[in-house]
Amino acid sequence: MMPSVENVETAYLRTELVERRERLAEVRSAHPDAADLTRLLREVDAALERLDLGTYGICESCHEPIERDRLLADPLLRYCLPHLTPAQQEALQQDLDLAVRIQASLLPGANLRTGGWEACYHYEPLGPVSGDYCDLVAMDSGLFFITSDVSGKGVASSLLMSHLHAIFHSLLKVGMPIGQLVTTANRVFCESTLPSFYATAVCGQAHPDGEIEIVNAGHCPPVLVRPRGISTVEASAIPLGMFCSGEFPACRFHLDRGDCVVLYTDGLTEARNARDEEYGPERLAAVLRGLCGGSPQDIARACLTDLDTFLSGAAKSDDVTLMVIHREN
């Protein structure tokens, strides 16, 4: 029988805790009087003991499960949110405020023009932080763009969003082709992430001559908007982080002046109104059909306005990211 996701995560956490304990013990042996190191060592030992007893991840106050994303972010936690002390709640809020500022600093500028291309995006977290990742990077060879959605929600997924950002920005400096870039990013992400986490993504590079290369790794299909109609770029590869040996081929297209490609996360197309109806990719496509030739800002605004009209005040249930890459007229 295949191990459950929970068992895989527990085994991973045990391995991580044992490795961290070994490193911590080495440092403490060189500084035996360091009270903070002694305290941390006791906390790691207590976490390993809870794993052995089968009580790991259970709040010691109410005996209910600790929030999964918090536990993955900090494997030493012993209490769920409602049972933190006022001091612990204040410290958590400070950490969350810092996470919000850090994530905001990773986002690209609101609008970017380079190499005959213009781009804009809308990034709307459901909570304080988001597992969506979007980026725009001006390069000598044109424009690099990515829209991605990390599995899960909350702090843990936002940490992985930051991790993806670091991976791609490091690899972009090497100057490899887009397919090889995503293949390498997948391997690094897979080898440095919990087995239960993955990320869907659309990565692309827009060249000055109008050629655009797109890799769709299990993500919502981008929409190519042209005067002759619209088309989609379906997934041709698995999400990032599922298998280290995955291959990520790129599809090539040519966009004329005024054409654009629209990328989004499923928080847009899977949004549901008060009647439990889904917005859906068909409605998005219907909106985009009438927008060819508009500026990227106008296109993004029209899509988001239609989403708000559809929701009619119903609350969103997921992060929403929308990006428009437009070949300038």
81 confidence band (pLDDT: 50, 70, 90): confident
Q: Is the pLDDT of residue 141 over 90?
A: no
134-146: average pLDDT: 92
Tell me: pLDDT of 234 over 50. Answer: yes
Mean pLDDT, residues 197-206 taken together: 94
Query: 257-283: per-residue pLDDT in tens?
Result: 999 999 999 999 999 999 999 999 999
pLDDT, residue 6, reads: 61
Dihedral sign computed on CA atoms, order 166, 172, 178, 179:
negative
Does residue 3 have a pLDDT over 70? no
**72, pLDDT greater than 80:** no
Q: What structural domains and CATH numbers belong to the chain?
A: 5-84 (1.20.120.910), 102-327 (3.60.40.10)
Question: Which pLDDT score is estimated for 4?
Answer: 46
State the maximum Cα–Cα separation within the chain, in Å, rounded to a whole number.
74
pLDDT band at 88 (very low <50, low <70, confident <90, very high): confident
137: nearest Cα among 325, 269, 274, 311? 325
How much of the chain exceeds pLDDT 70, in percent?
Answer: 98
pTM: 0.80
